Structure 1
Amino acid sequence: MTDTILVVNAGSSSIKFQLFDLQLIDCGDDALPARLRGQIEGIGTHPRLAVKGGETLPLPAEAEGVPGALAFLGAWLREHAGGGGLPVAIGHRVVHGGPAFDTHVVVDEAVIATLETYIPLAPLHQPNNLAPIRAIRRIMPDVVQVACFDTAFHRQHPELADRYALPDQFYQDGVRRYGFHGLSYEYIARRLADVAPEVAQGRVVVAHLGSGASMCAIQAGRSVDSTMGFTAMDGLPMGTRPGQLDPGVVLYLMDRGMDARAIEHLLYHDCGLKGLSGISNDVRDLLASDDPRARLALDYFVYRAGLAVGSLAAAMGGIDALVFTAGIGERAPSIRQGIAERARWLGLDLDDAANEAGESRISTPGSRVKAYVVPTDEERMIALHTRDILGRHRQGRHH
């Protein structure tokens, strides 16, 4: 019977999962496919299990909330995964590792307690990331669980990149620029060695553009700087988050009578593309609309992304390549075109036909700065980290 690793990426109403074959991962081939992948959608309303390339099943009425959904998923995996048995380890995406965690860790009660203190720093994500960890500890207390942090890849930044111009005590207390989407950026940095070896050790700006959006400067495979900061709200405008914002705006809203919770809801749920357009937070809806507000939102997104490319190039003293990834980055050629045009001054010459076709390289052969589209796979990155940590965990128990 082959051991497996389960990867869980939990949101507010869905749980994405992939099941990896541990023996296959141990071969060191990152490109091997997962045994199974899918998600449980509609948690809290009409929950259903959707498996890629397979069936969609409604969950029974008793499978309520995240615990019930996970229990159902565990039973379904034992029956359908082939080889039976529980996974030997479960890896989780956790958005914020705070100052305490600069690398990925085996979860215990102390780790959970610390991560709960970071909920105010990632209120959209952290509670949903922790809910399945707690549920699995109750259902399967002996299974090793690993927390993989979106902040960890950025913790090697130089201090200058991470500080705010605040009194030192705030920095010592953990008020600093963490950066996010680190699992995605780490995966892209590894993939570049295969898909674009000519730039893999160079100066690369990676644009992770989805409902949450950020950019990262990566030099020689290491994160140098990122558009996101203390929380996952800074930098680029996003589906419902404003991106870069003068803190004086928050003070103004407070003076107008809004309390912290009302401001938090506004900034996390009602701003960004949704706020600008008044129509939708989904780029696909905005691209399909002829409403001028939709065009404003998309133009603003492209404008701010263009500014970020220049800023991150400056952090590295130049740029050799621009890489697009995540939902918008991988599937919206018009957005890629707009950003690439704003980077033309840096030496990027877009190949329009290659861009429309979604090819891997979308810059012209003579372009000084190269451009690529590289699909990300955060779940595979989590699986690789979980495998490595599981190996060290087993060694530690045997000594």
Structure 2
Amino acid sequence: MAAILTLNAGSSSIKYSVYLDGGGDEPREIAVGQIDGIGPDATLILKHDGQKTVKSLGRADHKAGLNAVLDVLTPVLGGQDVAGVGHRIVHGGTDFAEPVVLDETILERLALLTPLAPLHQPHNIAAIRAAMEAFPQAVQVGCFDTGFHRGHPFVNDTYALPREYYAQGVRRYGFHGLSYDYITGYIEEAFPDLRDGRIVIAHLGNGSSMCCVKGRKSIASTLGFSAVDGLPMGTRCGQLDPGVILYLMEQGMSKQEISDMLFKKCGLLGMSGISHDMRTLLESDAPEAAEAVDYYVARVKREVGALAVADGGLDALVFTGGIGENAWQIRERVCDGLDFLGISIDAAANRDGEERIGTGAVQVMVIRTDEERVIARAVAKELS
């Protein structure tokens, strides 16, 4: 059996999973973990065989972090080589949608997309280069968060700018595609009656977006040209009048200062002045925390309606992502008052985190996403 490693690299963390590929069967996950605090004080976490290992790494960059992962996985692999490494790549632009075997030429093309995803693309590429060095014999496969949305109708893919900008790639890309891919596949298998249904999926977390699908095909997404549009997020502002950017420029802010603010100082953190973490805000008695949560909920509710229109109706609403899966309060508040859309929920089932929580004409579900499994499947396909 071949071993597959999946990597999801951020600016200060690397999430990883290890799968065994039996050749034709679904890859089997045998270990999962992450490296937190990449930089001056990194920590490695490994969960395997019911045990949890925590190891301090001290100062570590992405390359040192991957070397530490290799060391800790050696006994897990039992002498088995890593045959393939799968990477989550946030932005594929107009050229990349399907998973692709990575080489230097492709990495250079992906690097050109950094301005479209400055918080993610450089770290995705850094992890790929580190993995190429750590696992030189392995097949390196890139899986794109934008790929799932590449078939949008033109009206959901464009902005009302001069036409030449669309041709240059200024368009709505959408993100969290690996999550939406997993959720739609899960629904197709577990709920065959919804296979061709009109479904709104709310991937709510530190990065949040929503998408409507029909027959596993993305119709529209709340995220657009960059990963800062749509819903408010942990530190990103979400939808914003472009005139605000012009105003900030007139006030003397530089391009870098504006970028840092929109990506790192806005969202739940900026509105509350307390934290980017929804758990902290839900536990807080501060009125600013409550107002930040109120705005978040209001934006999600608005997008439920907008995406239902884009989808031509609504058969199911799915919550996923860190907030969507775990914050019953947010699910309850989002669904409150949406009876006119056929959305109502069982309060007890919602609080218990059951998979099916709806009581109305529209099915409402809570489904745990698994982006890593989507990546592992893509690698297994290349290895077959």
- Residue identity opposite 2:17 in structure 1: Q
Structure 1 residues 36-55: aligned runs within 5 Å: 36-52=31-47, 53-55=50-52
Cα deviations by residue, 1:33-72 (Å, 9 ceiling, x for unpaired):
40111112222132222112424343555x7311111112
Per the TM alignment, residue 341 of structure 1 is displaced from its structure 2 partner at its CA by: 1.4
**Cα distance in 2, alignment partners of residues 274 and 41 from structure 1:** 20
> Across the two proteins, how many residue pairs are aligned to each other?
382
- Residue identity opposite 2:24 in structure 1: D
CA contact (8 A) 2:83 2:137 kept: no
Counterpart position of 2:75 = 79
**Cα distance in 2, alignment partners of residues 75 and 328 from structure 1:** 33
Counterpart position of 2:346 = 351
**Cα distance in 2, alignment partners of residues 60 and 231 from structure 1:** 33
- Residue identity opposite 1:74 in structure 2: L
Structure 1 residues 1-399: aligned runs within 5 Å: 2-23=1-22, 26-27=24-25, 29=26, 33-52=28-47, 53-59=50-56, 64-82=60-78, 84-364=79-359, 367-391=360-384
**Cα distance in 2, alignment partners of residues 165 and 390 from structure 1:** 43
Cα deviations by residue, 1:358-384 (Å, 9 ceiling, x for unpaired):
1000111xx111100000000001111
**Cα distance in 2, alignment partners of residues 57 and 351 from structure 1:** 39
CA contact (8 A) 2:44 2:57 kept: no
Per the TM alignment, residue 127 of structure 1 is displaced from its structure 2 partner at its CA by: 1.1
- Residue identity opposite 1:79 in structure 2: P
CA contact (8 A) 2:40 2:60 kept: no
Cα deviations by residue, 1:103-143 (Å, 9 ceiling, x for unpaired):
21110011100111111111111111111111122333332
CA contact (8 A) 2:21 2:28 kept: no
CA contact (8 A) 2:9 2:15 kept: yes
- Residue identity opposite 1:69 in structure 2: G
**Cα distance in 1, alignment partners of residues 114 and 334 from structure 2:** 33
**Cα distance in 2, alignment partners of residues 33 and 139 from structure 1:** 23
Structure 2 length-normalised TM:
0.96
Gaps of 5+ in 1: 392-399
**Helix, strand or coil: the match of 1:296?**
helix
**Cα distance in 2, alignment partners of residues 289 and 57 from structure 1:** 29
Per the TM alignment, residue 74 of structure 1 is displaced from its structure 2 partner at its CA by: 1.5
**Helix, strand or coil: the match of 2:209?**
strand
123-132 or 189-198, which deviates more: 189-198
Bigger proportion of residues as strand: 2
**Cα distance in 1, alignment partners of residues 248 and 200 from structure 2:** 34
Identity %: 49
**Cα distance in 1, alignment partners of residues 56 and 280 from structure 2:** 29
**Cα distance in 2, alignment partners of residues 386 and 346 from structure 1:** 40
Gaps of 5+ in 2: none
**Cα distance in 1, alignment partners of residues 220 and 382 from structure 2:** 26
**Helix, strand or coil: the match of 1:189?**
helix
CA contact (8 A) 1:59 1:69 kept: no
Cα deviations by residue, 1:328-384 (Å, 9 ceiling, x for unpaired):
0000111001111143221112111111111000111xx111100000000001111
CA contact (8 A) 2:85 2:131 kept: no
CA contact (8 A) 1:205 1:321 kept: yes
CA contact (8 A) 2:236 2:267 kept: yes
**Cα distance in 2, alignment partners of residues 214 and 48 from structure 1:** 29
**Helix, strand or coil: the match of 1:88?**
strand
**Cα distance in 1, alignment partners of residues 93 and 52 from structure 2:** 39
**Cα distance in 2, alignment partners of residues 13 and 117 from structure 1:** 21
CA contact (8 A) 1:46 1:58 kept: no
**Helix, strand or coil: the match of 2:96?**
coil
**Cα distance in 2, alignment partners of residues 276 and 68 from structure 1:** 36
CA contact (8 A) 1:202 1:219 kept: yes
**Cα distance in 2, alignment partners of residues 287 and 388 from structure 1:** 42
Per the TM alignment, residue 390 of structure 1 is displaced from its structure 2 partner at its CA by: 3.3
